[in-house]
Structures are given as C-alpha cells and as structure tokens.
Amino acid sequence: MPRAGLTAAAVTEAAAALVDEVGFDQLGMGLVAERLGVKTPSLYKHVTGQTDLAHRIAILAMNQCADAIRDATQGRAGTEALARGAQAMRTFVKAHPGRYAAANAARPTGPDDPLIDALNRVVDSWAAMLHGYRIDPDQQIHALRMLRTVLHGFASLEVAGGFQFATDIDDSFTWMIDFIDHGLQETTATPTTSALSPAGPHRA
Amino acid sequence: MPRAGLTAAAVTEAAAALVDEVGFDQLGMGLVAERLGVKTPSLYKHVTGQTDLAHRIAILAMNQCADAIRDATQGRAGTEALARGAQAMRTFVKAHPGRYAAANAARPTGPDDPLIDALNRVVDSWAAMLHGYRIDPDQQIHALRMLRTVLHGFASLEVAGGFQFATDIDDSFTWMIDFIDHGLQETTATPTTSALSPAGPHRA
DNA sequence: AAGTACTGGCTAATTTGATTAGCTTTAGAC
DNA sequence: GTCTAAAGCTAATCAAATTAGCCAGTACTT
C-alpha cells in the first residue's frame, strides 16, 4: 500500500479548504483525514492535535490575507490604497470564511508565535495605507485601530450572515469605506472641536 | 434530599455567568452542572442539550445588551445618543465577554426565533440613534450597517485581546465614535463628490 | 542489490464529554 | 392522605479526540 506522502503543510491546506466549505465550527480530525484519504490517527504524525491544526490554519489564513492586501495596494497611496486594500480584504474573507474564522478564534501561544508575525503583516499593510493621509502622529494609532475595527467588523458580520438583506451589501461596503476616506482627509484638513470631548480628535 | 428547583432560565443564567468567567469555548455541561450543585444529566430536564443552552445564552445576551443601550439613550438624540449608546454597548461587552461571544456564535433556528427579536431590538436602538442626524433615507441603511460594523468590530477585537497596547484603548474608542459623529453630520451638511465612486455617498 | 534506520500510516485501545434510559422521590393538586 | 407530573439521580451509550504499539515503505549506505 503506497503512502499518502503527507506533510504538516498539506494537512493544514486540506483542513483550511474543509473549513471554508463546512464552517470552522465543523472542523474535525475525522473529516480532515477522510478528505486526505487517510485514517484519523495518521494525522497525529504531522500535527500534535486539533488545537495545533486550528492554529496552523489561522497562520495560513493571516499570511494569505496579508499577501492579498499587499498585492492589491502595491504602489498605491491614500484613497486608492484604502479602497483597494479594503476590497482585497473583503474578497479574501468571502472566499475563505472558514479560515478567517479560524484566525479570529486563534490565540497566540507565546511572544514568538508566527501567528503574531502574520497578524503584524496585515496591520502593517493598513498602517502603510494610512501614510497617504498625513495624519497627526498622535492620532495614527487611533486611525489604525478604527481601520482594523471597520474591516474586521464588516467581514465578521458578513461571514456570519449578520446582514439581513443580502442586496446592497456591496453598496454599504463602498459607502462605508468612502465615509472613512472622507473623514480621514478632514482629520488633517479641518480643525474642529468635538462634541464628545473638550478637545476633540479632529484637531490638526 | 431536597430539590435544586432549577428552571431553564436559571440554567441559562448560570451558564452565562460561567462563560463570562472562563470563555465561551470552555462551555461544558459538566461545568454548568457543577456550578448549580447538580449532576450533569439533570440539566437535560431543562434544556435539550449544549446547542440549545448556547442558543439561550445568546438570546439572554442580546436582550440584556438591548436593555443597556435603551437605558443609556433614553430621551437623547444625535451626538449624545450615539456617544452614550456606544459606550453602553462597549461596557456591556467588556463586562460579559462570554455571553457576547455566544451571541456572535449563535445562528437563528428559524424565522420566529426569539434571537431575531433580540437582535432587532439592538439594531432598532441604533437606528433610533441615527434619527438625530437627518440622514438621507437612501443612506440610512448604509449608516446603520456602518454603526453595527464599528460597534461589533471594536467589541469583538477588544474581547479577543486584539489590541496590542491596552493603554489608550478608551481614547481610541472615543476618537472613533467622534470620527463617526463628525462624518454623519457632514453626510447631510456637505455635498461632496467621492473619489471611490462617480457619485459618492456623501451627496445630500 | 541487499541491509538498515527512520518515518508514515494502520489497527486497537483509552479517554473525555455529551447524551439517553430508566428509576426514585419530591412537590403540589385534589 | 393519595396521586400524578416532573426533577434529579445512577448507570449505560455514543461520538470524537487522542495515545500505544505494530508494520511496511522510503531513502540512504555500502
């Protein structure tokens, strides 16, 4: 009987494809093994267990997501980079809902977890997109967190089927990104006082 | 041997308290039973199983969240309602991370699932908050989705420990809400052309 | 080409946790 | 006081992950 010739990476790929189809919460060693034409215990020669496998899917997902964003924003800046980066992110998540869910569920195991590097690659891409906006350095961190919040929030809600009417969702997304874009431009252009805090964040 | 006097609601409450402490992914019938001073199989007299229990936690969570937002925004409008409602939401999620996670994981079982009502109560609150902004009816849906996106995204990232530096997170949140508030005011005030689409969403 | 060590995959056994079956006794109605 | 429906219990069942230990295929040496 010939061998399957598996490897940790191959198992991870198969599992990632699986969760994209059946949902992350349906991940099981049995299903992965079946898909690879192998018996369940064989998987343990390549991954230490289901937890490890989920963690590997998360790393794969974040790196692929980072690649997609990088490719989409290469050589662009400001508004255009934001629009393309955001679209790339959303497209990736819609195409790979299961591995995105895995990425959200994963927790770094330590300070040198490759998952952290992968996450940082994504965040760095967004930080780069913001450079085109000449934002006050003090506000960079807040703008970056808002970007993460918005992109993660939208992807997360959409994947979870959180939006009632499937129609118009594309419109809502571009509307939202446009809203952010306008606001970011005003952040530097128009000193304003805030109604929420005495000296609002929109000051230049 | 006296009875524990349990009920479906009591089991749900105990389970909700449990997941807030140990995390939603640690939910288990054994832990819930132990906390109630009862043997595991006894729980099945009140809930049909773990899936049902998680679903009940989700409904409880959404209703409590809706209550919190309603109480915080009663009689307020516009900027103030937005600021208070958003803070109420965030406060609730930080106090009850486990049940919020349960709410995110839950899927409605049918068209008349109480979970849908609970979700709608939250969304309605936000829609009410937006009324203070005199937004073009065509854009209401987009603004509402943005609000959901932002509030859910932030809560979700924060609960997951997604923000690296714990300091400044309060500042980031108010900054972000302030950013949204300014943008929403401009949405009606300043007709603008969009860089992303020929006729942008910021038109009046 | 044969020998050999390593490694991948298998079967069988173990463990953990959810769920079900069936019994016993309480709490409330009459 | 008795009677009935339901609450809680113990014991049994089921499903899925994981572990133990065996055997064969691969690759490397000579």
Q: What's the gap between Cα B146 and its chain centre?
A: 14
Sign for the pseudo-dihedral over CA of B33, B37, B41, B42: negative
Count H helices, E strands: chain A?
A: 8, 0
Interval A103-153: pLDDT, tens:
999 999 999 999 999 999 999 999 999 999 999 999 999 999 999 999 999
Rounded distance in angstroms from the CA atom of residue B39 to the C1' atom of nucleotide D2: 30
Interval B8-18: pLDDT, tens:
999 999 999 99
* pLDDT given for residue A194 in this prediction: 52
Contact, A53 vs A27, CB < 8 A?
yes
Q: How far apart are CA B38 and CA A68, in angstroms?
A: 51
The reported pTM is 0.91
- Average pLDDT of chain A to the nearest whole number: 91
Residues of chain B with pLDDT under 50: 190-192, 198-204
Residue nearest to nucleotide C27 (CA to C1'): B3
Q: Which domains does chain B have, with CATH numbers?
A: 57-162+172-187 (1.10.357.10)
Phi, psi of A74 (to 5 degrees): -50, 125
* pLDDT given for residue B162 in this prediction: 82
The CA dihedral of B22, B23, B26, B30, to the nearest 10 degrees, is 50
Amino acid at B115: L
Q: How far apart are CA A149 and CA A175, in angstroms?
A: 16
- Average pLDDT of chain B to the nearest whole number: 91
Q: What's the rounded mean pLDDT across residues A82-89? A: 97
**Shortest Cα–Cα distance, B196 to chain A (Å):** 6
Q: How far apart are CA B185 and CA A202, in angstroms?
A: 14
**Shortest Cα–Cα distance, B2 to chain A (Å):** 39
The residue written with tokens 């600021």 in the block is B83
* pLDDT given for residue A3 in this prediction: 81
Task: List chain A residues with CB under 8 Å of B168.
Answer: 141-142
In this complex, the residue of A104, A152, A196 whose CB is nearest that of residue B79 is A196
Amino acid at B133: Y
Contacts of A133 (CB under 8 A, 6+ apart): A78, A143, A184, A185, A187, A188
Strand ranges in chain B using DSSP code E only, listed in sequence order: none
Of A169, A94, A159, nearest to B107 by C-alpha is: A159
Q: What's the rounded mean pLDDT across residues A10-35? A: 98
- Indicate yes or no: CB of B202 within 8 angstroms of CB of A179: yes
